[in-house]
Structure 1
Amino acid sequence: MTRRSKVSDTSHLRPSLPITSSQEPFLDSYRKQCVVDEEVALLDVLDTAGQEEYSAMREQYMRTGEGFLLVYSITSRQSFEEIMTFQQQILRVKDKDYFPIIVVGNKCDLDSERVVSEQEGEALARQFGCKFIETSAKSRINVENAFYDLVREIRRYNKEMSSYPSGSGAFGSRAPEGKMDMSEPGDKAGCCGKCVIM
């Protein structure tokens, strides 16, 4: 039996996902239903990646997001460096020491044009305490896996946070001290909320 949960995200990864377009003006948003670990997830995808017109509203999206795909191009050093700024901004806006994030190196099909090594992406994800994945929207490599990993991390985070009384405990507004355990299997429990891909 599957349960229903809701997630929304934003990303460069949209072209290879079978999703339907939103009618909202000024927002590049999409919806996709999928099953992750035998639980139905409804992905509401808000795509702000690489779109300068969204920069003024970025903090608003960060406030409402419950998970983030931080996407850079392996062919662009600048996009990789921006990921560090986005991660710090998310934690500041959320007033957390940790929040569900996946670092995504896109365009892995363009290895001959690569300027950011896979090891650099992995090291940055380790620094953030999150998962790393390389994708290719064009070649449809690992795109769905990036979304599924984010759904799993949101579920795990929500389950951990629900075990702490609101506004109390040793952590206050912070997340539980353990960042993402990279060897931990996906958790089937809990619901997902709104996700943003940058």
Structure 2
Amino acid sequence: MVKLAAKCILAGDPAVGKTALAQIFRSDGAHFQKNYTLTTGVDLVVKTVPVPDTGDSVELFIFDSAGKELFSEMLDKLWESPNALCLVYDVSSEQSFNNCSKWLEKARAQVPGSSLPGVLVGNKTDLAGRRVVESAQAQAWALEQGLECLETSVKEMENYEAPFRCVAKQFHQLYQEKVEVFHTLV
């Protein structure tokens, strides 16, 4: 049984539901706050995620970061050397989806020359009548970027664990691959 630790950046525009996603994940679905204050900097959520079919686990250090440009200089330092990325947009906001490219570029700049496992998360699927970003569009973009793609509704408590389980599994898989390479060298 192996217990790994991974730094996971939670990124995206303001008000897409990053904090709600992190908080509901931390509380195992028991705590959905209806009112949030704007994150000013970074909140840290720590939770251990079991990796299916392995007996191993990954302790995720989830850095829930501010989406406002005002805090971008501070983010550069706090985002240093991430192991995984959870990129969140609002399915009812084309702008938040379009800005994912900027957030992804910023995150990948922190690990030049390395792959950064991650997931694209379309949140607020409960706003079906206001949806402007179609699943297929998000899937295609995520695939192009080498990311998994999932949708959630934190408000309806649907699929809120999936993004973090996904990045834990991806991180574990990279770890396993590195161990295998190491064994071939010995």
The two structures have a TM-score, normalised by structure 1, of 0.70
Q: Which moved more, 1:40-49 or 1:124-133?
A: 40-49
Supply the AA of the counterpart residue of 2:23: P
Q: Following TM superposition, by how much is the alpha carbon of 1:49 offset from its aligned partner in structure 2, in angstroms?
A: 4.8
How many residue pairs end up in the alignment?
Answer: 160
Q: Secondary structure at the residue paired with 1:104?
A: strand
- Distance in 1, matches of 2:158 and 2:166, equals 14
Q: Following TM superposition, by how much is the alpha carbon of 1:123 offset from its aligned partner in structure 2, in angstroms?
A: 0.7
Q: 1:33 to 1:163 in 2, by over 3 A?
A: closer
Supply the AA of the counterpart residue of 1:146: P
- Distance in 1, matches of 2:176 and 2:71, equals 31
Q: Secondary structure at the residue paired with 1:94?
A: coil
1:49, 1:71 within 8 Å by CA — same for their partners in 2? no
Supply the AA of the counterpart residue of 1:130: L
Q: Following TM superposition, by how much is the alpha carbon of 1:76 offset from its aligned partner in structure 2, in angstroms?
A: 1.1
* Residues 1:105 and 2:130 are matched in the alignment: no
1:28, 1:48 within 8 Å by CA — same for their partners in 2? yes
Q: 1:120 to 1:97 in 2, by over 3 A?
A: farther
Aligned to 2:24: 16
Q: 1:64 to 1:92 in 2, by over 3 A?
A: closer
Q: Secondary structure at the residue paired with 2:133?
A: coil
Alignment partner for residue 43 of structure 1, among 60, 65, 71?
60
* Residues 1:56 and 2:73 are matched in the alignment: yes
Q: Secondary structure at the residue paired with 1:17?
A: helix
- Distance in 1, matches of 2:9 and 2:174, equals 19
% identical aligned pairs: 25
- Distance in 1, matches of 2:25 and 2:139, equals 24
Aligned to 1:180: none
Supply the AA of the counterpart residue of 1:124: W
Q: Following TM superposition, by how much is the alpha carbon of 1:164 offset from its aligned partner in structure 2, in angstroms?
A: 5.6
Bigger relative contact order, structure 1 or 2 (CA pairs below 8 A, ≥6 apart) = 1
1:9, 1:43 within 8 Å by CA — same for their partners in 2? yes
Structure 1 segments, 4+ long, off by >2 Å, are 7-11, 49-54, 57-64, 88-93, 157-165
Q: Secondary structure at the residue paired with 1:28?
A: strand
2:46, 2:59 within 8 Å by CA — same for their partners in 1? yes
Q: Following TM superposition, by how much is the alpha carbon of 1:45 offset from its aligned partner in structure 2, in angstroms?
A: 1.6
2:41, 2:66 within 8 Å by CA — same for their partners in 1? no
- Distance in 2, matches of 1:49 and 1:70, equals 13
Q: Secondary structure at the residue paired with 1:96?
A: coil
Q: 1:92 to 1:27 in 2, by over 3 A?
A: closer
Q: 1:89 to 1:4 in 2, by over 3 A?
A: same
Q: Which moved more, 1:83-92 or 1:62-71?
A: 83-92
Give runs of aligned pairs for residues 150-165 of structure 1, distance below 5 A. 150-161=167-178
Quote the RMSD (CA, aligned, Å). 2.5
- Distance in 2, matches of 1:92 and 1:131, equals 19
The two structures have a TM-score, normalised by structure 2, of 0.74
Aligned to 1:33: 48
Aligned to 1:175: none
Specify every segment of 5 or more residues in structure 2 that has no aligned partner in the other structure, as ranges: 11-17, 28-39
- Distance in 1, matches of 2:88 and 2:176, equals 25
1:14, 1:137 within 8 Å by CA — same for their partners in 2? no
